[in-house]
Amino acid sequence: MNILKKLAVGLGCRSLVVIFLFSTLSAAAQEQLPESEIAGVVSGNTLFGKTERGADFHVHHSPNGQMSGQARLAYYDVGTWAVSGKGEYCRQWTNWRDGARDCFVIFKLGNNQYQLKGVNYHYDSKFTIHEGDPKNLKGRI
């Protein structure tokens, strides 16, 4: 017996329909940001978010591909960012993550809420965009 039949028998058809509708709606709520929009969202702006472990982070993205970051209100680093030809947002820090280049898919959740999902390693965090460099990150590095 296939999994859908087992679910239908075990949960009842109405429950199965509710599960299907819920999973369809949550997938639709996460709209992947197209490659053509990534630079427009991050360039010249600052991401405010929390890591998976709950630590605050702020990352300012200069239009020239440079970035400055702050984590846990005390740690700073610089690096570079770019948009890959695969529609991914990629970044490489000088010290953080041992200088590894990491790429992410960005999902637009609505109401200035976005989500980063790692492509080459497990990473999942939510962030908001703030215009300019309100944390003066460029001036602290």
List, for residues 10-19, the tens digit of each pLDDT value.
555 444 333 3
Average pLDDT on 68-76 reads 91
Structure tokens at 12: 């009842």
User: Which among 69, 72, 132 is positioned nearest to 102, based on CA atoms?
Assistant: 69
Q: 33-131: which CATH architecture?
A: Beta Barrel (2.40)
Q: Name the band, by pLDDT with cuts 50, 70 and 90, for residue 5.
A: very low
Rounded Cα distance between 70 and 130, Å, is 14
Q: Is the pLDDT of residue 37 over 90?
A: yes
Q: Is the pLDDT of residue 6 over 70?
A: no
Q: Which residue ranges make up each domain of the chain?
A: 1-30, 33-131
The pTM assigned to this predicted structure is: 0.77
